[in-house]
């Protein structure tokens, strides 16, 4: 199993771009051209933007709490309620 620390922004951006282009082709959208890797065809500016976006996404995911807070904190979790008469 991997963790967020094991993924570089460059790796995430390249992977995301690859799947973005593959899905665009599957859905009939225009692609960036023929031959070579999708990432290889991307402009330097587009790569920089993707890497910056990936870096921000990784930072946000790393900062997210391990578990979400209960949506209704005033209710006890199952088995935690104290019952009395």
pLDDT in tens, 25-78: 776 655 555 545 678 888 899 889 888 988 888 888 878 776 555 566 666 677
Distance, CA of 27 to CA of 29 (rounded, Å): 6
Task: Specify the pLDDT at position 35.
Answer: 47
60 lies in some domain: yes
Q: What is the DSSP letter of 42?
A: S
* 3-state DSSP helix/strand/coil % of the chain, to nearest 5: 55, 0, 45
- Residue 49 belongs to domain spanning: 7-24+40-64
Cα angle for residues 50, 28, 32 (degrees, 5° grid): 40
44 lies in some domain: yes
Task: Specify the pLDDT at position 80.
Answer: 74
Q: Is the model's pTM score more than 0.85?
A: no
Q: In terms of Cα–Cα distance, which of 17, 20, 8, 3 is closest to 55?
A: 8
Task: Specify the pLDDT at position 40.
Answer: 83
13 lies in some domain: yes
74 lies in some domain: no
57 lies in some domain: yes
Number of domains observed in the structure of the chain: 1
Q: What is the DSSP letter of 74?
A: T
50 lies in some domain: yes
């Amino acid at each position: 199993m991997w963790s967020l620390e094991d993924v570089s922004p460059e790796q995430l951006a390249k992977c995301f771009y690859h799947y973005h282009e593959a899905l665009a082709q599957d859905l009939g959208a225009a692609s960036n051209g023929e031959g070579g890797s999708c990432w290889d065809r991307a402009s330097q500016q587009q790569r920089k933007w993707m890497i910056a976006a990936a870096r921000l996404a990784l930072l946000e995911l790393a900062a997210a709490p391990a578990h979400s807070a209960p949506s209704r904190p005033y209710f006890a979790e199952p088995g935690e309620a104290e019952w009395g008469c």
